[in-house]
């Protein structure tokens, strides 16, 4: 603890003594010695020499910088089809804004056309079986409960 107090008091003494220097002469303070030597003048001539100074040009500038980055959306919405099949057309570009009800994709109709044809064939088969069963019931070959 004593050494800390001793160090602090020594530092305070050094700082107070270093601030007791005389202020520099304002006439000679403006002229630096290396500049006087470079110009080949003595200090008295250099203190009375005037120098031309220009003002800086002030104007707006556009500075373009390029950076490598990755841009990510605030919201990520994954779009999935409720139906099965293959896409025939993609009607929007990735990242494009879309509105509600807007058509995004067009699915190839071949899968759906095959399903429709299959359903139509099943309906036709059921109608043929119905007509056949009605004819058999009328002839009393089968009972009405069997026909149902």
Please indicate, yes or no, if residue 141 is contained in any of the structural domains: yes
| pLDDT digits 0-9 by tens, 77-101 | 787 777 788 888 989 888 888 899 9
Task: Note whether residue 80 is domain-resident.
Answer: no
How many angstroms separate the Cα of 100 from the Cα of each of 68, 97, 103, 104?
34, 10, 9, 10
Q: What is the number of domains present in the chain?
A: 1
Q: What is the pLDDT of residue 124?
A: 97
pLDDT in tens, 9-25: 877 777 776 666 665 55
Residue at 38 is within a domain: no
Domain span at 106: 87-93+100-147
- Pairwise CA distance, residues 104 & 98, whole Å: 8
């Amino acid at each position: 603890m004593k050494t800390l107090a001793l160090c602090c008091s020594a530092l305070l003494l050094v700082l107070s003594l270093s601030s007791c220097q005389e202020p520099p002469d304002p006439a000679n303070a403006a002229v630096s010695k290396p500049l006087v030597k470079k110009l080949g003048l003595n200090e008295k001539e250099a203190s009375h020499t005037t120098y031309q100074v220009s003002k800086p040009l002030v104007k707006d500038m556009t500075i373009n910088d390029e950076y490598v980055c990755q841009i990510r959306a605030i919201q990520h919405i994954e779009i999935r089809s409720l139906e099965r099949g293959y896409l025939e057309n993609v009607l929007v570009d990735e990242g494009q804004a879309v509105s509600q009800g807007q058509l995004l994709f067009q699915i190839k109709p071949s899968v759906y056309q095959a399903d429709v044809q299959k359903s139509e064939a099943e309906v036709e088969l059921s109608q043929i079986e119905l007509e056949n069963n009605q004819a058999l019931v009328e002839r009393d070959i089968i009972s009405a409960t069997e026909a149902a």
